Amino acid sequence: MGTWNLIWQGLASGVVTGCVYALVALSLVIVYKSTDVVNFAGGELVMIGAYLGLFILLGLEWPYVALFVMVPIGSFVLGGLFTRFSLDKVSGRAMVKHANLVPLVVATIALSYLLKGIVRVIPFTEEVRRLPPLMTGPPIFLGDVVIQQQDIAIVLVTTVVMVILWLFFGYTFVGKALRATSQNIRAAALLGIPVNLMKLSVWGLSAAIAGIAGILLAPKLLMTPDMGTVVMLAFAAAIIGGFSSLPGCVVGGIALGILQNMVGIFISPQAIAVTPFFVIMLVLLFKPQGFFDTTLAVKKV
């Protein structure tokens, strides 16, 4: 079983984990683009989505499909509440986008501790848990490469979510209003777009996407209250994609997933943990535009 097989297997599972990184990266980017807030609690929203799913599945014993309805709604409400009560208070409903970045970021850090704290209190979460996968059954073999059914589910659901979002942002009124708000919040307000409602829906949407990523990730990554550290992988993926576009996130996520496996095979497993941070440093310090050109560095007069 030559190294070629090793590479193919690494590529395959890299794409799968990359898809989940892409989803979380997207949830970070749509919040950043519209409210200039880097959401350091993105990982915790993923975790909450996973535990919500586990509660619905095992606690209420609802069918699996209910997950894809209830978790996004639950996360949407959580995201909306956070921005309506906390972020608006912190930024003082200021119209200008980057009024005071430090408190806004600290607010997301505070949210991450709140969410971790709440989940930690439930004794059920002391042990490592796992959400039953969406699709179970024997794995599929492409030559020697093993593909799990859950992996296929992840790629499928991610693609579906991406397409829905692409259509939503591109062709629906609310979607365009969201994009307008993200480009220029003041102009959007002048055009009569209910800006605060937009902010609420952007945060809600971002939390919902993170929740879905949680449901997909939990079977693969296992659930502990500290699984939120996956947000750093999402940051790395978003930054490779230039932190501003939907295709950027997808390509960034998959590239990172594959890179991690290649590093694990060819360099050393010890280097896997540091790969995302190394990538963030390299891209930001030496190619700030990322690979999908958007000017992050220069500030206009």
Partner 1 sequence: MYGSPSTRHLLSLLWLVLAGFLFPSWMPEYFIYIMNMLMMYMILAVGLDIVMGWSGQFAFAHIAFFGIGIYGTALLNMRLGIPFLLGMPLAALLAGAVGYLIALPATQLRTVYLALATFAFSECAQWAFRTWESLTKGPDGLRMTAPQLFGHVVTNDRDAMPIIAIILALVLAATFYLWHSKLGRQFHAIRDSEHVAMASGIDVKRTKVWALAISAFYAGIAGGVYTLFQSYVHPDGLGVSMLVLVLSMVVVGGSGSVAGVGLGVVLLGILPELLRSAPKGFLIWQEFTYGAILMLAIMYMPKGVWGLWQRIQQGRKA
Partner 2 sequence: MNLWKSKGFGRLIGAFAASLMAPMLHAQTPGVSNNEIVIGLFAPLSGPLVAYGVDPLNAAKMLYDDVNAKGGIHGRKIRLVIEDDKCTGNELVGVVKKLITVDNVFVLHGGSCTAAIAAAQEYIQREKVPFVMLNAAGDNAVFPATRYMFGSFQGTQRVYGSALAEFAVKSLKAKRVAVIVHDDDYGKANLAAAKAVIERLGGEVVAQERIPPNISDITAPVLNLRASKPDAILSGAYPAPAVLLAQKYGEFGMTNIPLLQSTQGMPTPSVYAKNVGNPDALKNLYHTWSFSDIANEAIRARMVGMYKKSFPDREPGPFMVTGVPSALAVIDTLQRMGRDLTREKFVDAMEKLNLTADVMTGPLQFAPGRRDALRSVVVVKFDGKTQKAMPDIYTWNGKDGN
Site residues, partner 2 (CB under 8 A): 1, 6, 9-10, 13-14, 17, 120, 123, 126-130, 132-133, 136, 139, 146, 148, 221-222, 224-226, 229-230, 233, 257, 260-265, 268-270, 272-273
Give which of partner 2, partner 1, none residue 110 binds (C-beta under 5 to 8 Å, depending on kind): partner 1
Q: Does 111 bind partner 1 (CB under 8 A)?
A: yes
Q: What is the DSSP string of the chain?
A: --HHHHHHHHHHHHHHHHHHHHHHHHHHHHHHHHH----TTHHHHHHHHHHHHHIIIIIS---GGGHHHHHHHHHHHHHHHIIIIIIHHHHTT-SSTTS-HHHHHHHHHHHHHHHHHHHHHSGGGGS-B-PPPSS-SPPEEETTEEE-HHHHHHHHHHHHHHHHHHHHHHHSHHHHHHHHHHH-HHHHHHTT--HHHHHHHHHHHHHHHHHHHHHHHHHHH-B-TTGGGHHHHHHHHHHHTTSS-HHHHHHHHHHHHHHHHHIIIII-GGGTTTHHHHHHHHHHHH-TTTTTT---S----
**Least gap, CB of 287 to partner 2 (angstroms):** 25
Q: Does 120 bind partner 1 (CB under 8 A)?
A: yes
**Least gap, CB of 267 to partner 2 (angstroms):** 9
State the binding string over 213-252 for partner 1 (x if CB under 8 A, else -): -------------------x--xx--x---x---------
Among 288, 291, 292, 294, binds partner 1 (CB under 8 A): 288
Nearer of residues 136 and 184 to partner 2, judged by Cβ: 136
Nearer of residues 45 and 263 to partner 2, judged by Cβ: 263
Nearer of residues 6 and 152 to partner 2, judged by Cβ: 6
Chain contacts with partner 1 (rule: CB under 8 A): 32, 36, 38, 86, 89-90, 92, 98, 100-103, 105-107, 109-118, 120-121, 232, 235-236, 239, 243, 270, 273-274, 276-278, 280-281, 284-286, 288, 296-297, 299, 301
